């Protein structure tokens, strides 16, 4: 594999801005990689849409990312990972990973009592994919899913520490608290931003699994295995990352700069329906 191949960027996509939590972990854990990020801000949220629609959206986004010469793709959206990943994997000339499998693996390793909770969008929970993957690893595991649809808009409104968000979280998590789970997967890319609040509500006896971090670790392993890891440090003054959205670039800029370790000034809007 030539140096040029290894210096190509990694593509990361999400239904909106939540996948920036995955981008943040990639930047922290594999800092020499360049990133092309696409947020489908015109068509967010994915959590309430049908499998057919999410598959169509995901194919369009992947086609766009391939025009950006990416060497690997991360589906940084739990709903798209659940509904589209396996179908599109064999259609692609580059390796692709999602956020569900890495989170499921870590949860299985973390649980002591085999009772694992999953919170996510309606689509992710209804797909049953976390349950399926957890059972493949731990056939006797009990998986308790809970959809938390209001978390995404609350996070995107910047209300991560608001009392309203805490009240909503307490209502959503009340049922899970009664289920004696010892591990909880934050099964939506927005949810790590509510991690401290969720941890406070669930208590110290519950291990929180952040699939964003685990996905970054899985990506590093994948790049090494495929001989695609960039070994050259990024050039001084280079702007190594590119950000694209399907609508409202300013909303991504604000959110990105509140959570990413680098400053983002330029986000380009594209017409994703053309792909």
Percent of the chain clearing pLDDT 70 (strictly above): 99
217 tagged catalytic = no
Whole-number pLDDT of residue 70: 98
Using H for helix, E for strand and C for coil, what is the string for 79-143? HHHHHCHHHHHCCCCCCEEECHHHHHHHHHHHCCCCEEEEEECHHHHHHCHHHHHHHHHCCCCEE
**Beta bridge partner(s), residue 267:** 243
Q: What is the mean pLDDT of residues 130-159?
A: 94
User: What is the spatial distance between Cα 118 and Cα 5, in angstroms, rounded to a whole number?
Assistant: 37
Model confidence pLDDT, tens digit, residues 9-50: 999 999 999 999 999 999 999 999 999 999 999 998 888 899
Contact between 75 and 97 under an 8 Å Cβ cutoff? The reply is yes
**pLDDT(102) > 80:** yes
pLDDT in tens, 72-85: 999 999 999 989 99
Which residues are bridge partners to 49 per DSSP?
Answer: none
pLDDT value at residue 107: 97
pLDDT per residue over 192-227, tens digit each? 999 999 999 999 999 999 999 999 999 999 999 999
The set of residues, in sequence order, having a beta carbon less than 8 Å from that of 48 and lying 6+ positions away, is 121, 122, 123, 149
What's the pLDDT score for residue 239? Answer: 81
Specify the pLDDT at position 234. 82
Q: How much is the pLDDT for 23?
A: 97
Please give the pLDDT value at position 47. 82
pLDDT band at 2 (very low <50, low <70, confident <90, very high): low
172 pLDDT higher than 80? yes
pLDDT tens across 58-75, in order? Answer: 999 999 999 999 999 999
Q: List the binding residues for substrate.
A: 14-15, 46-47, 78-79, 189-190
CB 228 within 8 A of CB 5: yes
Query: Binding-site residues, please?
Result: 14-15, 46-47, 78-79, 189-190
What are residue 119's DSSP bridge partners? 146, 186
Smallest CA-to-CA distance from 80 within 33, 37, 118, 46 is with: 46
* Beta carbons within 10 angstroms of residue 265's beta carbon: 9
CA separation for the pair 147, 167 (Å, rounded): 16
Task: Provide the pLDDT for residue 237.
Answer: 75
pLDDT at 1 over 70: no
> One of 108, 148, 188, 217 is an active-site residue; which one?
188
**Residue 123 — pLDDT band, cuts 50, 70, 90?**
confident
Neighbours of 131 (CB within 10 A): 18
Give residue 3's pLDDT band: very low, low, confident or very high (50, 70, 90).
Answer: low
Task: Read off the pLDDT of each residue in 223-237 and give the average, rounded to a whole number.
Answer: 89
pLDDT for the residue 233: 84
pLDDT, mean of residues 133-143 = 97
Rounded mean pLDDT, 250-268: 92
- H runs (alpha helix) in the chain: 3-6, 20-29, 51-67, 78-83, 85-89, 100-110, 122-127, 129-137, 151-156, 163-177, 195-202, 211-225, 249-259
Q: Which of 77, 108, 148, 217 is catalytic?
A: 77
Task: Please name each of the domains of the chain with its CATH number.
Answer: 3-98+213-274 (3.40.50.1860), 100-211 (3.40.50.1860)
Burial class (CB in 10 A: 0-12, 13-18, 19+), 167: exposed
């Amino acid at each position: 594999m030539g140096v040029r191949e290894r210096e190509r960027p990694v593509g990361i996509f999400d239904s909106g801005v939540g996948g920036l939590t995955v981008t943040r972990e990639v930047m922290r854990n594999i800092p020499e990689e360049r990133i092309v990020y696409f947020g489908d801000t015109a068509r967010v949220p994915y959590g309430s849409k049908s499998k057919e629609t999410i598959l169509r959206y995901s194919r369009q986004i992947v086609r766009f990312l391939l025009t950006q010469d990416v060497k690997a793709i991360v589906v940084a959206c739990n709903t798209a990972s659940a509904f589209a990943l396996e179908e599109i994997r064999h259609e692609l000339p580059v390796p692709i990973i999602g956020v569900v499998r890495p989170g499921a693996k870590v949860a299985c390793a973390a649980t002591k009592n085999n009772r694992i909770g999953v919170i996510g969008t309606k689509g992710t929970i209804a797909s049953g994919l976390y349950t399926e993957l957890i059972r493949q690893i731990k056939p006797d595991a009990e998986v308790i899913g809970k959809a938390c649809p209001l978390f995404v808009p609350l996070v995107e409104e910047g209300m991560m520490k608001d009392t309203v968000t805490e009240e909503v979280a307490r209502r959503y998590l009340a049922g899970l608290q009664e289920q004696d789970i010892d591990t909880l997967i934050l099964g939506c890319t927005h949810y790590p931003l509510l991690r401290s609040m969720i941890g406070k509500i669930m208590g110290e006896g519950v291990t929180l699994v952040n699939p964003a971090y685990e996905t970054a670790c899985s990506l590093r392993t994948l790049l090494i295995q495929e001989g695609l890891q960039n070994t050259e440090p990024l050039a001084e003054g280079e702007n190594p990352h590119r950000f694209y959205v399907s609508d409202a670039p300013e909303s991504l800029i604000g959110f990105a700069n509140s959570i990413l370790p680098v400053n983002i000034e330029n986000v380009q809007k594209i017409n994703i329906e053309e792909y």
